[in-house]
A = this chain, B = another copy of it.
């Protein structure tokens, strides 16, 4: 196998997070549902973006957040996702460069604007999110460069992509490139509703193409249509891959055939914001696997990364995960 240039290549929605502090009156005046995520259209996105007080912009999106975590451990990531050639598209690319993530997907010259998640944070710490998927929905097979995918030890795919019209063909192309190069393919299920919409496709993909499955408890139960965690665990037992099943405060279970690890969540003084816990868990686990760590140590790197991100606001680590891992004696 040729040497790898990247630890992880990730396919996902390219979204710019715009975070600003507002008062409750801002939410009321502009009809923003408090504390939840609302999908919005381009018109509304433009309107809200103009109205929002000046805030902090950074690249976001689930798989991109995971790569930021991998980079924070000191790993090398390649991101594939679609933005438009507009101001937010520039902002996304700049943020990726700053985070040391390779990002070369060509920007769309027309069509919808770059995806954004406009987040109003009120004094009580609540995050009210307004997501416009825009250009991220335009990811197409031509955006996949097989030679680049072949350079990464693991191809990591975000389940949210199944909601995009052309993404499926892009994913197929990427998986083919990864397999041809003898690389591993990882999938995160992203959301139990997403699993409900594409269960048969996810099941077929999981059986035939996936080497590493990330799922939280609700996603795993949705995939295997059960209300008992153990049923999901038994479902992956005979499968020839690695399942990383997360259970929030209950920790996680890592299973690869007969090898099963039951790991506790890492204690956190105060859980501030669980956004990004799954993304950073995946980051820690993938960093471990791509650096020769055992399943157990990779799982502990994963719980350490998740613990870091839930102890503050935001979906990306504030303390370098390389430092977190060193403190925990894991690297």
Contact = CB atoms under 8 A, between A and B. Distances in A.
Interface in A221-243: 228-230, 233-234, 237
Contacts of A264: 228-230
Contact of A261 (B234, B257, B263): B234
Interface residues of A, number: 18
A271 interface: no
Contact of A233 (B229, B234, B258, B261): B261
Interface of chain A: mostly helix, strand, loop or mixed: mixed
A233 B260 contact: yes
Interface in A244-291: 250, 253, 255, 257-264
A218 interface: no
Identical subunits present: 2
Contacts of A229: 262, 264
A297 to B, nearest CB: 11
A158 interface: no
A261 B258 CA distance: 11
A253 B250 CA distance: 13
A296 interface: yes
A262 to B, nearest CB: 5
A95 to B, nearest CB: 37
Contacts of A230: 261-264, 296
Nearest to A299: B230
Contacts of A258: 237, 257-258
A234 B258 CA distance: 11
Q: A-B pairs with the 9 shortest C-beta distances?
A: A258-B258, A260-B260, A230-B261, A230-B263, A230-B262, A253-B262, A233-B262, A262-B262, A250-B250
